[in-house]
Structure formats: structure tokens, C-alpha cells
Structure 1
Amino acid sequence: MSLINTQVKPFNATAYHNGEFIPVSDADLKGKWSVVFFYPADFTFVCPTELGDLADHYAEFQRLGVEIYAVSTDTHFTHKAWHDSSETIGKIRYPMIGDPTGAISRNFEVMIEEAGLADRGTFVIDPQGKVQIVEINAGGVGRDALELLRKIKAAQYVAAHPGEVCPAKWKEGEATLAPSLDLVGKI
């Protein structure tokens, strides 16, 4: 079953954020655009490259009104230890949610039960708390923050302009499409 246009399921968790442990719940995803960014584990190999890439572009996400929530099945204590010991992870300014029970990973259907880890899942949530973008990558395939930014800009554009859609490779400021009978077979 696709999670597209479904409401985020309820959850409560603890995150490491800016030197503190903070509570985070599904309610925090409402009222703004959010990215829930699952990764398999702290102290690994591809994961820090992805989280570092998001950290490098965090100001651009914030400019778009988007909060990032990184989630793994590690605890918030492990997130703090990783943050304190890794130069790459040390630059993260977005919340790192601990999901040691796997409840959030199961809510988003990315839990690898036999491993106790989450798949590389990216979910873009609109201000109403509905999933607008889902991307799941194999464990060895890292994601790209710039491509995620492009997709978020497209999702935000479509949300703000009913009746218009963004074609493949659309970038901010480029032409969109207005689906109609006149366009059938013309593209």
C-alpha cells in the first residue's frame, strides 16, 4: 500500500537536537513542511555522508520552511555520542530522533525486521501532516540533498498552484503544465 496522501501515524519519541534531548511527536510535523529521513544506523558508512549532505544544505531547507527529522533505530543517547565524536555529524542542526523500538520505522513501513534497522526512506510531509513524497533506497545507495530540495520545491509549487503540475526535471522558475484535454497526446 502506498503512503502517498496518507496522514502520518501518531508517534512519540526523543530526539537529540542542538545539545539537548527533546520530545518529538507526529504533532511536530503539522503546520509546516517536514522531511522524515530514515537511515540504518549511527557510526556507519553511507549514513554520515547523507546526514552531512543534509546538514550542508540545511539553511536552504529552512529557507523553504522545511524541518528535517533524521530517524534511526539507535537511541537518542547514541545520536549524541555520534554527534560528539564525528566532525561530519557534529555539524547537524536538525533533530535526530531515536527509534529503538522501531515503532516510527514501522509506521512509515521502512523497518527491516530481521535486522532491527530502518531502510533508507525519505518522506516529505505537507503542513497538513500528509505524505507527499516517498523515496526508498537500497542500503548501499546514498541520497542527494539537492535532488530532495528540487522535489520539495516542486511539491510546494503544486500545493500552492492547484491545477498545475511539474514535469520531469522541473526546477524552480521553469514552466509547469496545466493538464487539460488540449494537452492529451501533445507532450
Structure 2
Amino acid sequence: MSLVNTQVKPFKATAYHNGKFVPVSDADLKGKWSVFVFYPADFTFVCPTELEDLANKYEEFKKLGVEVYGVSTDTHFTHKAWHDTSPAIGKVQYPLVGDPTATLARNFEVLIEEEGLALRGTFVINPEGLIKLVEVNDNGIGRNADELLRKVRAAQYIAAHPNEVCPAKWEEGGETLKPSLDLVGKI
């Protein structure tokens, strides 16, 4: 069964954010759009390239009213150490959530049980706490923040325009479709 359109399960965690350790819970997601980006581990190879890519686009996410959360099964202490030592991770201004008990990784169904690590899972969550997008990559395949921004914009657009859908490669301001009997077989 897919997690799409399911409610985020209750959780409590600690994140490293802007030089502090801060609590994060499912309650923090209510009333705004959120993106959860799970990754295998701090101090690795593909992970810093992805998190830096997100850091470079973080202002664009914020302009859309979206909070980004990076999540791994490392502790918030490890996140701080990585932030303090890696030039790429030093750019990160969004919360890095520690999940050492793997509760979040299990809740979002990305935990590799035998390794205690998460797959590269990406989740877009609406202001009501419903998961609207789920993507899970093999850990050797990095993600693209520009494509994630496009998908967030599409999710926000269809939330505001429930009788429309966004076709392939849709970009903000582009044409959408209005599903109807008249449209069947004409695309």
C-alpha cells in the first residue's frame, strides 16, 4: 500500500538547526507544506551533494512556504559535527533531523532494517499532514532539487485548483488539464 494521501504518523525527534538542537514533531508540519528528504548517513558521498543542492535552493522552497527536513538515522550530535566539518553541509540552513531509533525511517517505510540506514526517500507533505508525493531511490542514485521544486509547485497548484491536473514536464505558469469526458482520447 502506498503512503500517498496518508497522514504522517506522530513522531518526536531532535534536529540540528541554525546552531542549536531543536525539537521537531508531527505538530510542526501542520499548517505549512513540508519536504522530508531521507538519506543513508552523514559523512558519506552522495548525501552531501544532495543536501548541498537543497541548501542552494532552500530560499526558493521558503518562498513557497515549504520547510525542508533532512533526515537520517544518525543523531543530531552527528549532524552538528558534519555541519561543522563539511563545506557542503555547512551551507545547510534547514533542520537536519536525527532518527537514531529509526522511528521516522520506519514510519515513512524507507528503513533498510539489516543496515539501520534509510533509503533516499523524498516526501512532500501538505499543510493538513497528508503525504502528497513519495519517491524512493536506491542509495546510489542522487536527487535533483530543481525537480523537487517543480513537483512541490505542482502539488501546491493542484491543491489550489482541485479540478485541474499538471501534465508531464509542467512548469509553473504552464498549461494544465481539466479532466472530463470531452478530453478522453484527445491527448
1:131 aligns with 2:131: yes
- For residue 175 of structure 2, what is the aligned residue in structure 1? 175
Unaligned runs of 5+ in 2: none
- Which amino acid is the alignment partner of residue 138 of structure 1? D
- For residue 185 of structure 1, what is the aligned residue in structure 2? 185
- The CA deviation string for residues 57-87 of structure 1, in whole angstroms up to 9 with x for no partner, is 0000000000000000000000000000011
Shift of 1:162: 1.4
Mapped partners of 2:50, 2:28: distance in 1: 23
1:9 aligns with 2:9: yes
Residue correspondence of structure 1 range 114-129 to structure 2 within 5 A: 114-129=114-129
**Secondary structure in 2 matching 1:57:** helix
Residue correspondence of structure 1 range 78-93 to structure 2 within 5 A: 78-93=78-93
Mapped partners of 2:160, 2:175: distance in 1: 15
Shift of 1:145: 0.1
**Secondary structure in 2 matching 1:124:** strand
Shift of 1:134: 0.3
1:97 aligns with 2:97: yes
Shift of 1:25: 0.3
- Which amino acid is the alignment partner of residue 146 of structure 2? L
- Which amino acid is the alignment partner of residue 75 of structure 2? T
- For residue 51 of structure 2, what is the aligned residue in structure 1? 51
**Secondary structure in 2 matching 1:6:** coil
**Secondary structure in 1 matching 2:124:** strand
Identity, % of aligned positions: 74
Unaligned runs of 5+ in 1: none
Mapped partners of 2:150, 2:69: distance in 1: 18
Shift of 1:17: 0.2
TM-score scaled to structure 1, two decimals? Answer: 1.00
Mapped partners of 2:72, 2:100: distance in 1: 8
Matched residue count = 187
1:29 aligns with 2:22: no
- The CA deviation string for residues 9-64 of structure 1, in whole angstroms up to 9 with x for no partner, is 00000000000000000111110000011000000000000000000000000000
Mapped partners of 1:37, 1:139: distance in 2: 12
1:112 aligns with 2:126: no
Mapped partners of 1:2, 1:27: distance in 2: 22
Mapped partners of 1:180, 1:79: distance in 2: 49
Mapped partners of 1:146, 1:27: distance in 2: 27
Moved over 6 A (4+): none
Mapped partners of 2:38, 2:28: distance in 1: 17
Residue correspondence of structure 1 range 133-148 to structure 2 within 5 A: 133-148=133-148
- For residue 62 of structure 1, what is the aligned residue in structure 2? 62
TM-score scaled to structure 2, two decimals? Answer: 1.00
Mapped partners of 1:162, 1:7: distance in 2: 19
- Which amino acid is the alignment partner of residue 27 of structure 2? A
| RMSD, aligned CA | 0.4
- Which amino acid is the alignment partner of residue 158 of structure 1? I
Shift of 1:116: 0.3
